[in-house]
Structure 1
Amino acid sequence: MTTRILVVQPEETVPVGTLGDWLSEAGAALDTVRADVDDIPPAADGYDAVVCLGGGMGPLDDEQHPWLPAVRALLAASVAAEVPTLGVCLGGQLLGAATGGTVGRGRSGPEAGPKLVSKKDAAWTDPLFADLPLMPDVLEFHRDVVEHLPAEATLLASSPMYPNQAFRVGRVGYGVQFHIETTPEIVAGWVDRSPDVASAAETGAFDRDTLDRVHADMADTWRPFAHRFVELARGDRQPVEPRRPGLPLA
């Protein structure tokens, strides 16, 4: 039986990219809705998983982008129903906001370019993150951040500039601040359209040779991650065990 994944794309210039290729080669069928054009379903009925991509808008810019509340509602409903959910960059911020976290403009300014993030202790027993290297390669390109994780969230990866780089909320909801879906061509377009964000990167960060190298390194790490996400959606990989309620204090 085909594993169906609903992909929410907030902006034309931020497509599912290589992440879509990796999900498809693992046996998933992707249905993409453009959040700024199409109707957003209130729940993931009929789907085995949800992926929400990035975009240049802020996660709470509801006045300028009136479809944002519907995306947050979909993500909240998916987590509550234990539908495997992955939010990437803006998608991760929307997931954090939808499940009780706080989001906002990064106080240290934009973060951009190839970076390393560091796994936290909880990641070593997580069904998706356990097999990642200690410091996986990622691509950063954002202004906004998850400032405080939802109360029931578990931090999975961090970095000095912005600590909430990856988290799990509930048993199968995952948010990442960074990008894993890009190609060098996609990133070059972002650099041209958002020079204020791009200027935060190190010199040479967006040279073609550098982008080619980092994307090859990212594929080594995040392609298997995408395959594991499909396994989780298909039921071939078990989620984390539910949290046990603590004993009452005497």
Structure 2
Amino acid sequence: MPDRPVLVIQHTPVCPPGRVGDWLTEAGCALDVRRPYAGETQPVDLSGHAGLVVLGGEMGAYDDDIAPWLPATRTLLARAVVEAVPALGICLGHQLLAVATGGRVARSTSGQQGGTLPVGLLPAAADDQLFGTVPAGAVATHWNNDLVVELPAGAVELARTPAGVQALRLRETAWGVQFHPEVDPAIVRPWAATDVGAGQLSPERAATWLAEVDRDDAALVAAWRPFVRRFAALLPAR
């Protein structure tokens, strides 16, 4: 059991910790969820936490005017890397990790990713502490418009698809994943409705993507629950 709680940064009400939070709790982790969009403060350092998880959100990695707490989140991610505090960035969190450590994020040139897609594991994933036992043909849920287009110095790319970078590791304790291991079908449905309502996604494509998430639900749990449990095993224990 970790000796301190895991700090979770949640950027928006519609991107909760979801299954990642559930699986960390199953592994004996206490969660300290901070919601800066609701006025909750973020710690200035990670001395009181065993690990860091940064979730997704509809804003971009550079949208400090929309989400003025993002500089503090990037600082926490950079400190996690330097101080070897286990960290996991998901979607926006992945992009913030890259930007905080010298990488670059941009709009995807191939359009929005959505539904379930192959992870695109690279050879480096075989020896990775988290990805090493993820099945070669694993799929994950995607819902994003931006991608990491330049890796930070020293980053190891762990997964790539034709769209671009899907996972990376910095040093031996910080990971970013472009996909969403935390979601279940109930979390994704409002995302589809919002994008359709805004004219950013056709109803037909939204229906296809939602059907994929429903269809692959058992496979998603089978792939990503052990992944999160392996992250939990890296946290400092009592």
Q: TM-score scaled to structure 1, two decimals?
A: 0.88
Deviations 1:219-239 (A, max 9, x none): 001000111000011369xxx
Q: Which consecutive residues of structure 1, in runs of 5 or more, have no partner in the other structure?
A: 237-250
8 Å CA contact 1:184, 1:211 repeated in 2: yes
8 Å CA contact 2:121, 2:160 repeated in 1: yes
Partners of 2:230 and 2:102 in 1: CA distance: 26
Deviation at 1:63, TM superposition (A): 1.5
1:118 pairs with one of 106, 109, 120? 120
Partners of 2:19 and 2:28 in 1: CA distance: 14
Deviation at 1:64, TM superposition (A): 1.8
1:206 pairs with one of 182, 204, 210? 210
Once structures 1 and 2 are overlaid, which stretch shifts more, 82-91 or 119-128? 119-128
Query: 1:48 aligned to 2:33?
Result: no
Partners of 1:201 and 1:178 in 2: CA distance: 18
What is the aligned partner in structure 2 of residue 246 from structure 1?
Answer: none
Partners of 1:234 and 1:197 in 2: CA distance: 43
* Counterpart code for 1:32: V
Partners of 2:135 and 2:94 in 1: CA distance: 21
What is the aligned partner in structure 2 of residue 135 from structure 1?
Answer: 137
Aligned residue-pair number? 233
8 Å CA contact 2:115, 2:208 repeated in 1: no
Deviations 1:68-100 (A, max 9, x none): 111101110111100000000000000000011
* Counterpart code for 1:168: R
Deviation at 1:203, TM superposition (A): 6.0
Query: 1:190 aligned to 2:191?
Result: yes
What is the aligned partner in structure 2 of residue 175 from structure 1?
Answer: 176
8 Å CA contact 2:192, 2:206 repeated in 1: no
8 Å CA contact 1:110, 1:197 repeated in 2: no
- Within 5 A, what are the aligned runs for 1:226-241? 226-234=228-236
Which secondary structure does the structure 1 equivalent of 2:208 belong to? Answer: coil
Query: 1:82 aligned to 2:56?
Result: no
Deviations 1:20-61 (A, max 9, x none): 111110111111001222111122111111000000000101
- Within 5 A, what are the aligned runs for 1:10-89? 10-36=11-37, 37-89=39-91
Deviation at 1:198, TM superposition (A): 4.3
| RMSD (Å), alpha carbons | 1.8
Which secondary structure does the structure 2 equivalent of 1:194 belong to? Answer: helix
Q: Which consecutive residues of structure 2, in runs of 5 or more, have no partner in the other structure?
A: none
Which secondary structure does the structure 2 equivalent of 1:206 belong to? Answer: helix
Q: Percent identity?
A: 41
8 Å CA contact 2:108, 2:163 repeated in 1: no
8 Å CA contact 1:111, 1:201 repeated in 2: no
* Counterpart code for 2:168: F
More helix by share: 2
What is the aligned partner in structure 2 of residue 244 from structure 1?
Answer: none
Partners of 1:93 and 1:145 in 2: CA distance: 7
Partners of 1:220 and 1:55 in 2: CA distance: 25
Partners of 1:177 and 1:235 in 2: CA distance: 28
Which secondary structure does the structure 2 equivalent of 1:234 belong to? Answer: coil
